Amino acid sequence: MNVNKVIVYTDSLASKPRGLTIQGIGLPKEKNTDRTSHNRAKSCLQKASAITTSPVVAVSDLDVSYRTFRGYLKAVENVSLTLETAKIHALVGESGCGKSTLGLSLSRLLPEKRVIYSGKIMCKGTDLLALHEKDVERFRGTEIATVFQEPMTSLNPVYKIGEQMAEALGVKRHRDAIYNRSLPKPQMSARLLGASDDSIITRFRRRKLYQQFAGQVNELLNKVKIPNPERVANMYPHELSGGMKQRVMIAMAIAEKPSLLVADEPTTALDVTTQTRILELINSLTQEYGMSVLLIAHDLGVVAAVADYISVMYAGKIVEEAPKKELFENPLHPYTIGLMGAFPKGRKDESTLKTIPGVVPQLGRYPSGCRFHPRCEKAFDKCPTSIPRLIEVKANHRVACYLHGD
């Protein structure tokens, strides 16, 4: 019972409802009221502080396996991540390392009949892997939102931007009944036109939703710094540039103010100037909404600008992770060093950029031992025989390499 309830009860004593007695209310004694209220307020503050400092999402020993004609093949193996509140955690690596699979797994967006999960994905005290698929829906968008890799293919080309954003807002308000039967059916004249009922009903409902949420749509477009939001809301996706489409996707993702935003290579196919603006936008939204961001990228230049913490992924496993400054100043894993060497320094230099020989191994054809050893210049006898563990070599700096411990 808090202080507000005590005040309400006290004011209602003059006109007590039937059956309500002072003894039944359970009011504390007057001389102890201040001390009791102080203790309860202190307890609430301690609980609030614990909630604030706890991670938004904690991944433990996660394995993700795809079902193929050769059986189940692991695309992500023994991955553990901690995503802190209001921090940008970058996940970097070459294409085919399992980054997108890991990002989609956080909200279980992969087809359930084609994948098998093991481990834990804890979101605010709930293990998402232990829930039924329908129960996971209440976490999608509200707690974990995703900006997909290709904004050009993520938007429906036959509907206007405002209608698609209004649908996202409608899902927020009516998640379980967005397309219920409360909306009127199409008229008979519409049926005679030869169009299917479903297509007409869907288009009608989208327009109704946009009329209902037009103000919020314009507000979200303003949030992502799109000029003339009313005009853009009435445009089709093909009328927007790649950067504008990406801003629309970000606006749809933050519509429900999620705790975690998974940005899967949000700067793909964008020019350098637009990339910078998108990254600045993500950074500002992180501070404004207090949400965490998992930024998936293969470009170290992208993550260097905004990331607080970086995890390096190779062939389905985390091989090194550290705070951004520590990782750039002191990379330990040969793969991380190779990625750093291939990164342009931004100044005139006669030397050529280094390359990592070979390619990322195909799914299910991983080499024995350390998966990077066939491409590693520092590999020795122990590397092909056993898999190195991810160990802490410094404070918050972990690496999986036999060159830096057993």
Q: Residue 189: which residues within 8 A CB-CB, separation 6 or more?
A: none
Tokens 């060093």, located at residue? 337
Helix (H, G, I), strand (E, B) or coil at 258: coil
Of the pLDDT bands very low, low, confident and very high (cuts 50, 70, 90), residue 4 is very low
77-121 residue pLDDT tens: 999 999 999 999 999 999 999 999 999 999 999 998 899 999 999
Q: How far is it, in rounded angstroms, from Cα 293 to Cα 291? A: 7
Quick check: 167 and 251 in contact, CB under 8 A?
no
Quick check: 91 and 262 in contact, CB under 8 A?
no
Q: How far is it, in rounded angstroms, from Cα 141 to Cα 144? A: 5
27-60 residue pLDDT tens: 334 444 444 444 544 444 344 444 445 789 999 9
DSSP-derived pairing of the beta strands 88-92 and 71-83? unpaired
Q: How far is it, in rounded angstroms, from Cα 67 to Cα 53? A: 38
The pLDDT, as a whole number, for residue 354 is: 83
Of the pLDDT bands very low, low, confident and very high (cuts 50, 70, 90), residue 325 is very high
Q: How far is it, in rounded angstroms, from Cα 337 to Cα 354? A: 10
**Higher-pLDDT residue of 373, 47:** 373
Q: Answer yes or no: is pLDDT of 2 > 70.
A: no
The mean per-residue pLDDT over the stretch 246-273 comes to 90
- By C-alpha distance, which of 183, 145, 169, 148 is closest to 233? 169
**Higher-pLDDT residue of 272, 359:** 359
264 beta partners? 296
Q: How far is it, in rounded angstroms, from Cα 375 to Cα 373? A: 5
User: Which two three-digit tokens encode residue 311?
Assistant: 């995890």
Q: How far is it, in rounded angstroms, from Cα 86 to Cα 289? A: 8
Tokens 């190195």, located at residue? 388
Which numeric CATH code is attached to 57-157+236-404?
3.40.50.300
CA angle centred on 184, ends 181 and 187, rounded to 5°: 130
**Chain-wide mean pLDDT for the chain?**
81
Q: How far is it, in rounded angstroms, from Cα 357 to Cα 334? A: 12
User: Which two three-digit tokens encode residue 1?
Assistant: 């019972």
DSSP-derived pairing of the beta strands 115-123 and 126-127? antiparallel
Q: Which residue type, as a one-letter code, is found at position 212?
A: Q
Element (H, E) at 36: helix 33-53
Listed by start position, the domains of the chain span: 3-53, 57-157+236-404
Of the pLDDT bands very low, low, confident and very high (cuts 50, 70, 90), residue 346 is low
Q: How far is it, in rounded angstroms, from Cα 338 to Cα 355? A: 7
Helices 242-253 & 161-173, crossing angle to 10 degrees? 10
Half-sphere exposure of 207 (CA within 13 A, CB side): 7
Phi-psi region of 74 (alpha: psi -120 to 50; beta: other; left: phi over 0): beta
Helix (H, G, I), strand (E, B) or coil at 265: coil
CA angle centred on 14, ends 10 and 15, rounded to 5°: 110
200-218 residue pLDDT tens: 556 666 777 788 889 999 9
The count of other CB atoms within 10 Å of the CB of residue 175 is 14
Helix (H, G, I), strand (E, B) or coil at 312: strand
- The answer to whether the pTM exceeds 0.85 is no
